[in-house]
Amino acid sequence: MLQVTCAIIEHANKILICQRSASMKPPLKWEFPGGKIETGESKEGCLRREIREEINIDITIRRSLTMVEHHYADFSLQLYPFVCSLQSGEVKALEHTQAIWVAIDQLLDYDWAEADLPIVRENIAYATSIK
């Protein structure tokens, strides 16, 4: 089972989402950026490294959300989401087809990777509860 982190990056009342490339599994679906935890690496260390590698920015990790375990047809993963804020840098989609900032009420307008959907819903529920 893959151990993966992802970042819900907030900035200027928007959230960064990324579209997977056609060669990634699942292809062209939307996701929160992140990646696989390497041996001996902390979840937070993995997330900071992956975000620098994938989208060229530095983040501040603020809090964790509920871990998601998901089984696709050809692999399974445990996905550890963290709510973060943009610390520095300019977003560049280095591995994804695109990376865009969207309002939280627009998140469900996108075709998400199945593993990310519970995180989208939890984030929307949290944002709604604090308004």
> Sorting pLDDT into bands at 50, 70 and 90, what band is 128?
confident
How far apart (Å, rounded) are the C-alpha atoms in residues 77 and 68?
8
* Upstream peptide bond of 26 is cis (omega within 30 degrees of 0): yes
pLDDT at 97 over 70: yes
Check residue 127 and give its pLDDT.
Answer: 81
- pLDDT tens track for 57-76: 999 999 999 999 999 999 99
Across residues 65-94, what is the average pLDDT? Answer: 96
Check residue 25 and give its pLDDT.
Answer: 85
Check residue 48 and give its pLDDT.
Answer: 98
Check residue 131 and give its pLDDT.
Answer: 58
Sign of CA dihedral 92, 60, 79, 41: positive
- pLDDT tens track for 102-121: 999 999 999 999 999 999 99
pTM to 2 decimal places: 0.94
Mean pLDDT of the chain: 95
DSSP run (H or E) holding 70: strand 68-71
Domains and CATH numbers, the chain: 2-129 (3.90.79.10)
Check residue 63 and give its pLDDT.
Answer: 95
Across residues 24-45, what is the average pLDDT? Answer: 96
Across residues 71-99, what is the average pLDDT? Answer: 96
